[in-house]
Amino acid sequence: MAWDEWEGLKADAAARSSTQMQLNQYPADPGGGGTGIPVTDSLKSEKKVWVKAGEGVTGLKADISKALTGLENGQAGLGDTTGCQTAAAQKELYDSWKKYVGDVSARCGELGGLLERSGHDLAKTDQSVLTDLDQLKVKYADTEAVGGQAPKGR
């Protein structure tokens, strides 16, 4: 095929295509295209930022595991708590914190995974991400503080 013929074919194809699609920018008309959602220059979202945030939150699990191991090691010599109220109270507190710290670790893993997945595809709507976050809030709802509530104004 001669170079002139190739140039002619490209020119014919360009002439037939009256509009071009460009996916890396929003429409020139900032009206939002009738979706009711205004288009702004201030909204910027980068996959790597979401993924890095997710990795950071997931990485907290390692530190939490170290703290839990330290808590377990400190509790190792307690032994039988029968007949000693202080030892029984310490064991009860330990069991409570062990569960709480385990839940915090699991929450970090799930939240970090959600952030990473959101960053990898950026395909979820804001509402679906919010729904996922709300589900995490329900699943890992903190318990009421022991000993009642502090008086207001303190």
pLDDT tens-digit profile of 117-144?
Answer: 887 766 677 788 888 888 888 888 876 6
Enter the pTM of the model. Answer: 0.55
- Structural domain harbouring 52: 47-77+85-139
Structural domain includes residue 4? no
73, 74, 77, 79 alpha-carbon torsion, rounded to 10°? -100
User: What is residue 6's three-state secondary structure?
Assistant: helix
Closest by CA to 64, choosing from 107, 11, 10, is 107
Residue 32 within any structural domain of the chain:
no
Tens digits of residue pLDDT in 81-118? 788 888 888 888 888 888 888 888 888 999 988 888 88
Indicate the number of domains in the chain.
1
Mean pLDDT of the chain: 75
Q: Who contacts 68 (Cβ-Cβ below 8 Å, separation ≥6)?
A: 98, 101, 102, 105
Please indicate, yes or no, if residue 135 is contained in any of the structural domains.
yes
pLDDT, tens digit (0-9, with 9 covering 90-100), for 19-43 = 555 555 555 555 444 455 555 566 5
**Is position 40 within any domain?**
no
Least confident range from 6-15, 51-60, 82-91, 106-115: namely 6-15
Q: Is the pLDDT of residue 69 over 70?
A: yes
Whether the CB-CB separation of 64 and 105 falls below 8 Å is answered with yes
